[in-house]
């Protein structure tokens, strides 16, 4: 039946408030430390070893082992690839990006003997940046669904909105209004003559696919101070100002792959989103060097408070189908307004214990153990309580341990490095989203100059659901994520 097209203002804030959810909280709370090539090659296990700019993001006491000033700069090339299997069909895609994982200055000052009543040796000040997460990736999912469509989820969401309501356009959620405008959702009369919702999209027997591209990073600007007490105890503190830049473009599609339905060809839902915002945290650390061959470290990170996180997004829906009141196939498209929303996020605190074994002048073996409880994440905003989302955070996520291992061996001016890291699953049940990194590297050092090269390979598996609701849920797409990072650090001592 032909319907009257209604023009109204979509309630953007109330409808999209649900989009900042437990998934976003996790994406912006996880840290997979990058920093310098030396640290990356050794799995990031520098919590007790020290003397590397990356320690400003893990254990700032490591800065206390510097005896000279230093400038570091680390460009990197990273590739993210995701392979997906959904309902027996395979798809994959990848994305390569050039970025900067580290930039920093460390100013070291010796303390003249006799100027203090305690045997302080050096103190240091530092500022710069370490990258703590990269969002660089592409994925492609496709498969046949014989049971339902995303339209079934839409119909469940709007069942309580009466089709004859003259203000219907104002009452539809942000993502459903365009589907109504292009006749993916339409109205027909049932046997009793009542107007009901329906759709030309068949309930099953369709091919579904989703293409997603993400990019951006979480880079932490750092201001730190440290001190060396008699080459036995090292203390440090860092004020971190992390900055999130997250971009996502996705296209979800359903189409008649067999060309068996004369009333339906395809429909697509496209979404573009960017998230930006600053945060602040404090890191405190200490390293004890009781004997020449052993160093012990401990660090505590306060939660990061992201204030004024801002999302900007827009969507479009297009369809090629035959509306119920017409007889010929046609193409229609509806673009949403641009929406904006500001909110806040508090990430979990972190505790890190570290140990390093020093093998004379030949090398070292080090390890970091990091504890994080993701159930303590919290979303907030003015005008929306995030009660459901915060309850989901407590139900879905739990505590986890991250383990980082590294070793370095020196021969003349060359250093050879290797590392392994396991970032445990943030979920309360299962190992979904566990990340493992295997890394290697080499370094060349002169008196005042060093050049370090690192390669890091990351592997992670997870289940991805194209959509999920109370009544409808797709089978999971089994995804295998692979990342490759190549980093080169130039270090200048002065």
* pLDDT score recorded for residue 187: 82
**Cα end-to-end distance, the chain, whole Å:** 79
DSSP per-residue letters across 362-411: TEEEEEEEEEEEGGG-EEEBTTB--HHHHHHHHHHB-EEEEEEEEEEEEE
pLDDT in tens, 350-383: 999 999 999 999 999 999 999 999 999 999 998 8
pLDDT tens, residue by residue, 1-14: 333 333 222 233 33
Q: What is the pLDDT of residues 299-308, one digit of tens each?
A: 999 999 999 8
Of 3.40.190.10, 3.30.2180.10, 2.40.160.60, 3.40.50.1820, which CATH number belongs to 22-145+206-493?
2.40.160.60
18: pLDDT strictly greater than 80? no
The predicted pLDDT at position 15 comes to 36
Q: What is the pLDDT of residue 376?
A: 96
Q: Give the 3-state secondary structure of 88-141.
A: CEEEEEEEEEEEEEEEEEEEEEECCCCCCCCCEEEEEEEEEEEEEEECCEEEEE
Rounded to whole angstroms, how far apart are CA atoms 234 and 285?
8
Q: Which of 80-94, 165-179, 204-218, 330-344 has the lowest mean pLDDT?
A: 165-179
- Whole-angstrom distance, CA of residue 82 vs CA of residue 63: 37
Beta-ladder partners of 361: none
Q: Tell me what the mean pLDDT of segment 160-172 comes to.
A: 64
- Residue 483: per-residue pLDDT: 96
Of 70-79, 136-145, 216-225, 322-331, the poorest mean pLDDT is in 322-331
The conformational region for residue 114 under phi > 0 = left, psi -120 to 50 = alpha, else beta, is left
- Contact (Cβ atoms closer than 8 angstroms) between residue 277 and residue 310: yes
Tokens at 57, concatenated:
């993001």
Q: Has residue 124 got a pLDDT over 50?
A: yes
Tens of pLDDT, residues 21-53: 888 999 999 999 999 999 999 999 999 999 999
Q: For residue 165, what pLDDT is reported?
A: 58
Instruction: Evaluate if residue 340 carries a pLDDT over 70.
Output: yes
With pLDDT > 70 as the criterion, what percentage of the chain qualifies? 93
pLDDT band for 16, please (50, 70, 90 cuts): very low
Instruction: State the pLDDT at residue 19.
Output: 59
Q: How many residues does the chain have?
A: 494
**Among candidate residues 391, 384, 350, the one with its CA nearest the CA of residue 369:** 350
Average pLDDT for 326-348: 91
Tell me what the mean pLDDT of segment 69-88 comes to: 97
State pLDDT tens for residues 432-490.
889 999 999 999 999 899 999 999 999 999 999 999 888 899 999 999 999 999 999 99
How far apart CA 118 and CA 390 sit, in angstroms, is 49
The pLDDT of residue 163 is 66
Choice among 15-29, 191-205, 223-237, 401-415 with the minimum mean pLDDT: 15-29
pLDDT of 204 > 70? The answer is yes
What is the mean predicted confidence (pLDDT) over 119-128? Answer: 95
Q: Would the CA dihedral through 334, 340, 346, 351 be positive or negative? A: positive
pLDDT of residue 112: 85
Residue 406 Cα distances to 152, 291, 473, angstroms: 51, 20, 42
Q: Cα(261)–Cα(54) distance, rounded to whole angstroms?
A: 58
Which contacts qualify for 106-110: CB closer than 8 Å, 24 or more apart? 106/53, 106/63, 106/66, 106/69, 106/70, 106/71, 107/69, 108/66, 108/67, 108/68, 108/69, 108/70, 110/67
What is the rounded average pLDDT of the residues 337-345? Answer: 92
Residue 159 has pLDDT above 80, yes or no: no
Q: Average pLDDT over the chain, rounded to whole? A: 91
E strand or H helix at 24, and its extent? helix 22-29
What's the pLDDT at 143? 96
Return the pLDDT at 1.
37
Mean pLDDT of the region 324-349: 90
The pTM of the whole model exceeds 0.85: yes
């Amino acid at each position: 039946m032909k319907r009257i097209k209604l023009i109204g203002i979509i309630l953007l804030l109330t409808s999209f408030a649900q989009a900042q959810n437990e998934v976003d909280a996790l994406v912006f709370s996880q840290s997979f430390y990058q920093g310098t090539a030396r640290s990356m090659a050794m799995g990031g296990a520098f919590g007790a070893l020290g003397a590397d700019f990356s320690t400003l993001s893990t254990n700032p006491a490591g800065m206390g082992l510097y005896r000279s000033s230093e400038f570091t700069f680390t460009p990197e090339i990273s590739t993210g690839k995701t392979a997906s299997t959904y309902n027996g069909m395979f798809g994959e895609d990848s994305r390569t990006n050039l970025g900067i994982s580290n930039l920093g200055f460390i100013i070291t000052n010796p303390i003249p003997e006799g100027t203090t009543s305690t045997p302080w040796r050096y103190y240091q000040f530092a500022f710069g940046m370490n990258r703590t997460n990269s969002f660089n990736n592409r994925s492609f999912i496709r498969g046949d669904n014989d049971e339902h469509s995303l339209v079934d989820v839409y119909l469940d969401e709007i069942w309580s909105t009466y089709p004859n309501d003259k203000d219907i356009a104002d009452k539809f959620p942000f993502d459903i209004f365009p589907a109504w405008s292009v006749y993916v959702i339409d109205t027909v009369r049932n046997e009793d003559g009542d107007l009901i919702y329906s759709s030309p999209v068949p309930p099953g027997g369709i091919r579904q696919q989703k293409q997603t591209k993400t990019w951006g990073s979480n880079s932490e600007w750092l201001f730190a101070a440290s001190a060396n007490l008699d080459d036995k105890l090292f203390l440090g503190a860092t004020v971190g100002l992390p900055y999130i830049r997250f971009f996502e473009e996705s296209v979800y599609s359903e189409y008649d792959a067999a060309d068996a339905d004369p009333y339906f060809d395809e429909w697509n839902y496209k979404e573009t989103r960017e998230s930006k915002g600053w945060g602040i945290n404090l890191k405190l650390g200490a390293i004890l060097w009781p004997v020449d061959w052993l160093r012990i470290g401990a660090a505590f990170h306060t939660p990061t408070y992201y204030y004024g996180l801002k999302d900007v997004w827009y969507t479009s829906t297009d369809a090629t189908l035959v509306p119920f009141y017409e007889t010929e196939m046609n193409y229609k498209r509806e673009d949403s307004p641009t929406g904006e929303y500001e909110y806040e996020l508090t990430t979990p605190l972190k505790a890190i214990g570290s140990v390093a074994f020093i093998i004379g002048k030949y090398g070292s073996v080090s390890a970091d153990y990091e504890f994080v409880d993701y159930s303590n994440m919290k979303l907030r905003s003015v005008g929306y309580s995030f009660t459901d989302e915060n309850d989901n955070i407590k139900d879905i996520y739990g505590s986890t341990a991250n383990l980082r291992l590294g070793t370095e061996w020196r021969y003349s001016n060359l250093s050879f490095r290797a590392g392994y890291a396991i970032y445990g699953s943030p979920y309360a049940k299962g190992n979904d989203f566990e990340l493992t990194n295997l890394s290697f590297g080499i370094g060349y050092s002169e008196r005042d100059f060093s050049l370090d090269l690192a390669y890091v390979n990351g592997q992670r598996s997870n289940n991805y659901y194209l959509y999920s609701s109370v009544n409808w849920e797709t089978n999971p797409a089994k995804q295998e994520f692979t990342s490759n990072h190549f980093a080169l650090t130039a270090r200048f001592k002065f």
